Structure 1
Amino acid sequence: MKIDNSPPRGTRDLLPTTVAVRDHVLSAITEVYHRYGYQRIETPALEDITRLTGGQGGENEKLIFKVLRRGLGDPVEAGTSLSELVDLGLRFDLTVPLTRFYGNNHAALPLPFRSFQIGPVWRAERPQKGRYRQFYQCDIDLIGEASVLAEVELIEATTEALATVGLSGTTVRLSDRRFLSALARSAGIPEGAWDGFFIGLDKLDKIGWDGVRTELVEQRGLPASAVTTALEKIAGLQGLDATKVADAIASTVPTLDEGIIQDLATTTGCLDQIATARELRWEFDPTLVRGMGYYTGQIFEISHPSTSSSVAGGGRYDRLIGRSLGKDVPACGFSIGFERIVDLLEQAPRRDVVAVLYEAEVPVADALAMAREVRAEGRTVTVIRRAGKFGAQLRRLETWGITSFVHLRADRDPHSRPEERPLGQQPQT
């Protein structure tokens, strides 16, 4: 039987040129986050299934890859429940594992604790461009900071990281889960239906206003008048000038706590200040929900005109860590959509790579010695034996990302270094 060499559906093999772009993005993001004082941590790919299905992952809990318990018989007895078969699952994001990590290690960590994670996550998605079953996330989190310093710092660091990797033209979208809850209450939506209301509203960019209204009223059974009132209030807050956000929110939702309005005003004021020092576009977006159920305060996403999906998103989740620690700890995080950013970047910056191209008559030791000499200058060197037509081989080297070469011949002067020639400018002999 012929074995299919294709990777599993929804996953990919990555060629060296693609990995080079990914390495560039990872390196740039890591360097920026380090400058802001964030320390990298690592968490396991597998988590206890009860933690992953605790009701805080939103729609993503339906996409968990579950792992069978060890020691199950074959076949499994009829009538065995799923809970008896499964005890672990692959993580669907990096936030839930972080909360367990902090609960387990907080005594050895500084407060506030600034961390970032980079690693693969898994979701049983329907594969499509920009959406894979295995993909990387880059998360930055600030734990133990109750003020909006956390929100502003995360936004500043993440937008700087995206600019550093070469992604320009982004816009930060800002909202607040507390504002959305107060708006839902003022519109007459029952509190028990708020999660459904948020989930439906979160689909606005995909199904439009009419689609959201249909889902909320006909599929979720929310009162039509309350849904109409809520959507009208939200529509009236779109496209506001930055200086009018706080007053407009207070007018639209008079019951909203003054402290929440002040928090938003502080965040927007800080973003305006950052925008005077470097390029930064932002807007208050009352339609922004974020699908995870663990958000408790300000939420934010970063959009790019080349994609309908966000390239980064996050927010405050002050009660999630308490599930692991037994007491609430203020926390805020931002996750970069690594795969989407890589797809948007055409290529990584070209690196200086030198090929030591040696003829068959040249001793291997001489070729390695030449490579060692060039590497001592802090450069990247690869050693390749001469084969086939010279011009064709040079074209292959250029395709592989090599920028220049040194040609070692058997008749060369052992006391002088051969001339280094850039690829693309050599005679095709």
Structure 2
Amino acid sequence: MDNSPARGTRDLLPSAVATRDRVLGLIQDVYRQFGYQRIETPALERIERLTSGQGGDNEKLLFRILRRGLDEQVAEATALSDLVDLGLRYDLTVPLTRFYSQYRAELPQPFRSFQFGPVWRAERPQRGRYRQFYQCDIDLFGEASVLAEVELIEATTAALAAVGLAGTTVRLSDRRFLAALASGAGVPEEGQAGFFVTVDKLDRVGWSGVETELREERGLSAEVVRAVRDTIDALSDLSTDKVVDALADAVPNLPTAVAEDLATTVRCLGALPGDQRWLFDPTLVRGMGYYTGQIFEISHPDSSGSIAGGGRYDELVGRSLGTAVPACGFSIGFERIVDLVPAAPPAERLAVLFESDVPVERALAVARRLRAERDAVVSPIRRSGKFPAQLTRLEGWGFTGFLSVKADQDLTELPDVRPLRGN
């Protein structure tokens, strides 16, 4: 029998879990300082919510759950909708909007939410991409101004700095800018959702692949595709002080409010502390269909993909609530940053080694006293095998020191703790 976990999932050993707990604790401390409150939502959501068309390509990666009580055999023409009523969440945002709609009257306004939990996507497993992985999100509901965007960016960059990730770059764009670009180039409004999905593949397939898909699958003419590329090229690699003016020149139909919002965000990003940099990226799209305004990602020189991303999604809550609610969110790619964070010095972890003739209550009493005196992790462990070999095993398991307890030993004073390294 194969005892390995399901393909695309992982077991985590104690050392890995300890690292993840440390990273999560540092992030959570920062987000708490900014006023974000932790909530939890279930892993399962109703299938109609997960297939609303707002999840982009992630809806194609949805794990569906069969209805209870189905017969072992179903009729050949049975529709999938008759077999499935639930699915595993593919992100934390869609469940969050359902949560907010349900409990809005009980929540502070504006509401700052923090979430951490597993999500599932039917990915093709590969390095850095798993079928089960964890997301770490903050979201702000009820703030219509770019205060939301800038606060989310500041809080997230502060959280990344707290875990030791320096040299990050914030990439910024706006779905309203992209819509104006598409309209100005001649992309029909009904084709803009597909246009966004294709342009989002630019970093994976390059301009050649994007242009081919825009022509052959999206039905755009060569002239329209060329106009799109020319505009994007003109807005690439701009110095930060020229972004807003360049946008007005390159995209004349850009609404004034969009330019003003970007100008405010630009000023605020320039005032952020730390060593992170930022840039306007006209190719940044983000694949989710629910974004309605500014979008952003954070990159790190040691990661091939972004380590955090988010944006404004003012219309998503309204689908459940029936009334528009300003909303903006930022998600840290937790699995990616855990692989990047510097290793922490090992915490003090001590073993109380006791001989077989030592009463259990005596060993426990020594461990209890040691915890109180050293504020350390202390575990009573029975002596077994050859002593040097046991010490080697303890060191491999993460212990940093030990003391020995014998049956006839005077324990008025605890024995000295001896370091494991070098024994």
After TM superposition, the score normalised by the length of structure 1 is 0.96
Structure 2, unpaired ranges of 5+: none
Tell me how far apart the structure 1 counterparts of residues 350 and 57 of structure 2 sit (CA, whole Å): 49
Deviations 1:277-334 (A, max 9, x none): 3222111111000000000000000111222211110000000000111101000000
Residues 145-160 of structure 1 mapped to structure 2, 5 A cutoff:
145-160=143-158
1:330 aligns with 2:323: no
State how far apart, in whole Å, the 2-side matches of 1:344 and 1:262 are.
36
Does 2:393 align with 1:389? no
* Residue aligning to 1:119: 117
How many Å separate the matches in 1 of 2:235 and 2:118? Answer: 37
Classify the secondary structure of the residue corresponding to 1:62: helix
Q: How does 1:64-213 map to 2 (within 5 A)?
A: 64-213=62-211
Distance across 2 between alignment mates of 1:270 and 1:421: 53
- Residue aligned with 1:376, SS: helix
Instruction: Give the whole-Å Cα distance in 2 for the aligned partners of 1:149 and 1:407.
Output: 59
Of 311, 316, 326, the match for 1:315: 311
**Corresponding letter in the other structure for 2:414:** R
Hey, what's the Cα distance between the residues in 2 that align with 1:12 and 1:135?
Answer: 9
- Say whether 1:223 aligns with 2:207: no
CA distance in structure 2 between the aligned counterparts of 1:170 and 1:221, rounded to whole angstroms: 38
Residue segments in structure 1 that go unaligned for 5+ positions in a row? none
1:56 aligns with 2:54: yes
The DSSP-based 3-state class of the residue aligned with 1:372 is: helix
Whether the aligned pair in 1 keeps the contact of 2:53 and 2:289 (CA below 8 Å) is yes
CA distance in 1, matches of 2:328, 2:218: 30
Runs of 4+ in 1 over 4 A off after TM superposition: none
After TM superposition, the structure 1 = structure 2 runs for residues 242-391 of structure 1, keeping only pairs within 5 Å, are 242-274=240-272, 277-345=273-341, 347-377=343-373, 378-391=375-388
> Mean Cα displacement is larger for which, 363-372 or 50-59?
363-372
Following superposition, the deviation at residue 349 of structure 1 comes to 4.0
Matches within 5 A, 1:400-411: 400-411=397-408
CA distance in 1, matches of 2:184, 2:411: 85
Question: Counterpart in 2 of 1:423?
Answer: 420
Confirm or deny: 8 A CA contact 1:355 1:382 kept in the other structure.
yes
Partner SS state of residue 310, structure 1: coil
Distance in 2, Cα, partners of 1:93 & 1:400: 35
Conserved 8 A contact 1:189-1:223: no
Q: Distance in 1 between matches of 2:345 and 2:261?
A: 40
* 1:36-76 deviation per Cα after TM superposition (whole angstroms, max 9, x unaligned): 11000000100000000001000000010001111112211
Q: Tell which deviates more after alignment, 357-366 or 204-213.
A: 357-366
Whichever residue aligns with residue 57 of structure 2, its letter is E
Contact 2:166–2:276 (8 Å) recurs in 1: no
Which residue identity lines up with residue 101 of structure 1 in the other structure? F
Answer yes or no: is the 8 Å Cα contact 2:349–2:398 preserved in 1. yes
Moved more, 405-414 or 194-203: 405-414
Deviation at 1:409, TM superposition (A): 2.4
- Paired with 1:349 and 1:244, the residues of 2 have a C-alpha distance of 44
Q: Is the 8 A contact 1:387 1:393 kept in 2?
A: yes
CA contact (8 A) 2:164 2:342 kept: no
Q: Is the 8 A contact 2:173 2:281 kept in 1?
A: yes
Q: Deviations over 1:212-244 (max 9, x none)?
A: 111111222112111111111111111111111
In 1: Cα distance, 2:237 partner to 2:66 partner:
49
| One-letter amino acid of the structure 2 residue matched with residue 104 of structure 1 | Q
What SS does the corresponding residue of 1:302 show, helix, strand or coil?
strand
Give the percent of matched residue pairs that are identical in Structure 1 and Structure 2: 66
Q: Which AA in structure 1 matches 2:307? A: V
User: After alignment, is 53-62 or 235-244 more displaced?
Assistant: 235-244
Q: Which amino acid aligns with 1:394?
A: L
Give the superposition deviation at 1:412. Answer: 2.4
